[in-house]
Amino acid sequence: MADRIKLWSPTTDLYKIQESGHWPSIEVPDIIADAILARIPLYR
Helix (H) and strand (E) counts in the chain: 2, 0
Average pLDDT score over residue span 7-36: 67
Residue 2 near residue 14 (C-beta atoms within 8 A): yes
Structure confidence by residue, pLDDT tens digits, 26-35 = 666 778 778 8
Quote the pTM value.
Answer: 0.35
Residue 11 has pLDDT above 60, yes or no: yes
* CA atoms of 15 and 13, how far apart (whole Å): 6
Task: Give 6's pLDDT tier (boundaries 50, 70, 90).
Answer: confident
End-to-end C-alpha distance for the chain, whole angstroms: 16
Encode 34-44: b = buried (16+ Cβ within 10 Å), e = exposed: eeeeeeeeeee
Q: Over the chain, what is the mean pLDDT?
A: 68
